[in-house]
Structure 1
């Protein structure tokens, strides 16, 4: 049996599917796939996994990881994301990461590019600890942040930090398909050495005249160098005078995205702005907001929590491993029930205090004492 990790040919997979339907009867209560996983985890059909093929440090705190997905993988569209699981200290954590590679890769691999963030348990592990040969649980590609196939666009990419990853996937795909249109890319980073994909971006700008790169370094040494480097209407008019006629694809920190949404709304052009968020946008909380004692009914654990920490993180810090997925209120994998007390949805500021109410632990925090069905 081939154990190299390469996916078997289509005809072989079809034949194996028919054989597997028969052998599953003898593998009960498991499936044949569970035994195949012992030989090659990438051939398992009951769970999708990926093998780490390569790691590459983009900057001092950002790393690109090349993954070879298993047989259940389906192709992604440039700009989409996927869930990735990592076991850390005996617990399983899941995060969603944008696929930074183009779908047109001929080696059937994908890449994710991760930036280590302050307090980020999984991002630090991926950037510092992950190694070639590791196997990681992988979800199928999702998301609607991608360029349209049918209609031509003249894109304006506005990105900051690791928010460059979906734009990079799109640009790589457009170049691979030889259909790169007139494109402008405004990217914000603190310093020259913080620009993820910096060398490749400059090479693209040199090789493709239709791609105009505008790097904005926001923390260069000296006050004069920093002045005016953050997004503003004046800056936009200078860097991209025809921005009103372009479709905008933006990804970055919440403060940048809020500024963009306000600017395009004031111009009456919100329909042209497409935004991808890595974190949920939180509402302003009242000054008298408080946390409380959080009880986890099934786990018999009680911990004190503040009014800003998501209940999912509270549970994880208490040694629990509750179900979770996107961690930004989209997938509802973390849903549980409120048994008593009060919690707050941090996206809206709304209080939930009805017994039996569904609580999304990734975007809700304690608003007084409460008990959850976890």
Structure 2
């Protein structure tokens, strides 16, 4: 006779199973999210630690990321989800802190723009202690493994933010660096004091263009400002007009392979009551009203929808919202997304709040 000995479940595992039984339909993980939102294994979040003014319309936001944070390279960005007036908004911001800080904090620097809900909220209203949603660092606006001997940065406005991450990580000690930066006035230069201090001690050459008095930078001026710019590896970040001119200039000189650009994308989501829902994988598009769960609307159209409790408890219906806006039928909260945000929604308790694409 063969006897099978089953391994004993660990005390922790048995305790967790007991807790699940007692607390169903709300699982222990839901309670842990409330008391330990930054724990390992939880959805990645961050807690605002400090907000420091940089200029009249820009601020650095210091964040303690959850234990799932995997770090970043200088020049990369992080997508941040923040609730503004009941709407979960996602935006991408460059990380301006040095990788691997001993306190594990990261920092983003945000410039408030006219009518920018998220940027104005982060610069003027958010307070330490606030929890935000995070994604892992992304982006290829970074230095190569082998640092070039000569580097040129062309930036304007908040375009300085990814470059600041590179400078703070020690680039000036490894390369000959020239920075050409444009801002309306001297006081509007984000990190102005820090950049000027670097220039004063010879760590880099800084060329400031104050557009209110000097006018816009003409890219052909680089022939005089930085005579060897065609020989430098160049990283440019700023408004679309500047980047278009820079790309055309480098292409005309046959040196486009030496240019690296980062474009900040605009985000415009129009929320409403109901709208067109596209299930991208199924290639099905329907019109849905603002009271019907997307789960039901999809099933009625013949789309194979994952589901479970259909009450917003089990999370068996969670799918990515590629872009658009949905409304939580339980509390009226809006969630918006643009391509790449990686926002997940519960289709059983979410209704269309405008045009939206569901990855299903």
Residue aligning to 1:213: 206
Task: Deviation per CA, 1:260-289: give whole Å up to 9, x if none.
Answer: 0000000011111101111169xxxxxxxx
Aligned CA RMSD, in angstroms, stands at 3.2
Question: TM-score normalized by structure 2?
Answer: 0.72
Residue aligning to 1:353: none
C-alpha deviation, 1:30, in angstroms: 5.9
Alignment of 1:25-104 (within 5 A): 25-28=17-20, 32-43=28-39, 45-104=41-100
Task: Deviation per CA, 1:200-250: give whole Å up to 9, x if none.
Answer: 11111112x241111111112xxxx43xx41321x1012211111111111
Residue aligning to 1:181: 175
- Is 1:271 the counterpart of 2:260? The answer is no
- Is 1:231 the counterpart of 2:218? The answer is yes
SS in 1 for 2:288: coil
- Is 1:298 the counterpart of 2:288? The answer is yes
Which whole-Å CA distance do the structure 1 matches of 2:176 and 2:74 have between them? Answer: 18
Residue aligning to 1:241: 227
C-alpha deviation, 1:147, in angstroms: 0.3
Task: Deviation per CA, 1:44-85: give whole Å up to 9, x if none.
Answer: 522111111111111111110111111101110000011111
Structure 2 counterpart of 1:198, from 168, 192, 211: 192
Which whole-Å CA distance do the structure 1 matches of 2:151 and 2:12 have between them? Answer: 47
Runs of 5+ consecutive residues of structure 2 not aligned to the other structure:
1-9, 268-272, 277-286, 292-321, 345-353
Structure 1 counterpart of 2:137, from 138, 141, 146: 141
Structure 1 residues 21 and 189: CA distance shift in structure 2, 3 A = farther
Structure 1 counterpart of 2:248, from 262, 268, 280: 262
Maintained 8 Å contact 1:33/1:45: no
Runs of 5+ consecutive residues of structure 1 not aligned to the other structure:
1-17, 282-292, 302-310, 335-369
Maintained 8 Å contact 2:89/2:335: no
Maintained 8 Å contact 2:151/2:178: yes
Which whole-Å CA distance do the structure 2 matches of 1:99 and 1:267 have between them? Answer: 32
Residue aligning to 2:158: 162
Which whole-Å CA distance do the structure 1 matches of 2:147 and 2:126 have between them? Answer: 40
